[in-house]
Amino acid sequence: MTESPAQPAASPCPDAGGGEQRLLKLQRLAAAGFAPFGQAFPDTRLLTDLRAGFQEGLGVRTAGRLMTIRDMGKSIFADLRDGSDRLQLYAGKSQTAEFDTFKHLLDAGDLIGVEGELFTTRMGEPTIRILKWTLLAKALRPLPEKWHGLKDVEIRYRQRYLDLVANPDVRRLFDQRSQALREIREFLWAKGFREVETPMMQPQAGGAAARPFKTRYTALNADMFLRIAPELYLKRLLVGGFDKLFELNRNFRNEGLSKTHNPEFTMLELYQAWSDRKGMQALVQEMIVSVAQKVVGSLQVGRDENRIDLALPWREVTYRDLILEKAGSDWYDLAPDAARAHATSLGLAIDPTWSMSQITHEIYEKLIERTLKNPTFVTRLPRELVPLAKACADDDSVVDVFELVIGGKEIAPGYSELNDPVEQRKRLEAQSGAEAQKVDEEFLLALEHGMPPAGGMGIGIDRLVMILTGAETIRDVILFPQLKPKTTEEAQKVIR
């Protein structure tokens, strides 16, 4: 092997991960005429297309990351992966240019461009015979373990790119998330909805009950809040004549983390003038079924414990009936003390200061909601729970809303929007009480100019993606979930 590049007698500066070793290889690649971190490599084909359009002997040009290298001496097999698929590479001493450089200076993890031809190996594996190749980027750090993948959840979240490279299922899941977002937009666009963008920085955070993140806008010398919901701005647009509109973007809530909560989360909110709660119910049902069909290809979604049947029709049941079913048909006739005792006997910890409606809601949240696996519209919620919804025509103690529950999680609330500015003011003032956030006067002013009767709803997109993919935790459907910032030496241990 006289033409092989000079080998170092031993690692001059050995290290566990091979970083120094790889730096050395990089220098030698540069000496051999390869641009250390490559140049544009245009006119490539996706590996999935090469696989689908496989033709013996077809000339191909492609690029990707080397995943594994199987060195057989004068013959090398390797796996190449791009964003679409993986495909086997073959390098032969008598056929591949710069064979020895390939053999000695490339590592799993490197990015290369390849020109060659398709053939089938003896084992029947579709393969690219490399005629020419070039270095597009040298990976100075090794890939995670090839067989077990990357399991350390902290690294998976903090260095999601490694998770995506090492765990194909993760890549597939986020691809599904992308598709779901696209399908939602296309579905709504086809129905005549328009996507709008309203402020994420708001002088007061309204439209929901949650602690906001606070920030400071220096130029205006004013405190600002990251929005907890876009609702009050979207309704201003209803007043302005956007009859069908939606916003699909982030909300921020300064609350705890859990398997179903991330401080920034993606919400679809939409409004349709001249419609109502029933219209929203029909719309959300059609939308979710359509998205599931296109993204999952089935209405049986999730896995194992999280298996859910999205087949129509979906159950619709009133809040009251669910309560009666769980707490007994005489629940609403019980005296407060008896109710408290009964709730306790159901296994709940009841705060002695709670009102009847708070106790009732505790029963709903702790004992009922999480048991509703298949899609369920819970309707006619108590008025005080939803200050922005219209009261039911036949009973003003309940509002004309639905809460769509799937997989035991709140996925989408929807309602007939309250458009009476006088009533709206009363409800907001009742809700805000003494210390909570002030009433949004600008919003009420807009209502006074006339907001059409409308249906509106919100869909928690992260939770919807959890349902569709069977993900156990919201962190698995958010590319970069919130983690505590870390400034370890680990993070500063840079290769120089």
Window contacting RNA (CB under 7 A); options: 135-143, 190-198, 199-207, 421-429: 135-143
Does position 260 interact with RNA (CB under 7 A)? The reply is yes
Indicate the residue among 43 and 484 with the shorter CB distance to RNA: 484
CB atoms within 10 A of CB 38: 16
Contacts of 233 (CB under 8 A, 6+ apart): 198, 199, 202
Indicate the residue among 266 and 273 with the shorter CB distance to RNA: 266
Does position 327 interact with RNA (CB under 7 A)? The reply is no
CB 131, min distance to RNA, A = 13
- Strand, coil or helix: 232: helix
Does position 186 interact with RNA (CB under 7 A)? The reply is no
Place of tokens 């669910």: 322
Does position 460 interact with RNA (CB under 7 A)? The reply is yes
The residues in 104-123 that bind RNA, with binding defined as CB under 7 A, are 104, 107-108, 119, 121-123
| From 3, 40, 42, 94, residue interacting with RNA (rule: CB under 7 A) | 94
CB atoms within 10 A of CB 401: 28
| From 38, 41, 45, 77, residue interacting with RNA (rule: CB under 7 A) | 77
Closest CA to 266 of 436, 480, 417: 480
Structure tokens at 487: 């400034």
CA dihedral 166, 168, 173, 178 (to 10 degrees): 90
Indicate the residue among 223 and 365 with the shorter CB distance to RNA: 365
Name the amino acid, one letter, at 261: H
**Is residue 483 a contact partner of residue 158, using CB atoms and an 8 Å limit?**
yes
Indicate the residue among 68 and 306 with the shorter CB distance to RNA: 68
The residues in 191-210 that bind RNA, with binding defined as CB under 7 A, are 208-210
| From 49, 195, 316, 410, residue interacting with RNA (rule: CB under 7 A) | 410
For residues 197 and 180, what is the distance between their CA atoms, to the nearest angstrom? Answer: 19
Indicate the residue among 239 and 252 with the shorter CB distance to RNA: 252
Indicate the residue among 239 and 280 with the shorter CB distance to RNA: 280
| From 193, 265, 271, 364, residue interacting with RNA (rule: CB under 7 A) | 265
| From 218, 241, 484, 494, residue interacting with RNA (rule: CB under 7 A) | 484
Strands 391-392 and 86-92, by their bridges, are unpaired
Packing angle, helices 356-363 and 336-345, rounded to 10: 20
Does position 263 interact with RNA (CB under 7 A)? The reply is yes
Place of tokens 């079924």: 289
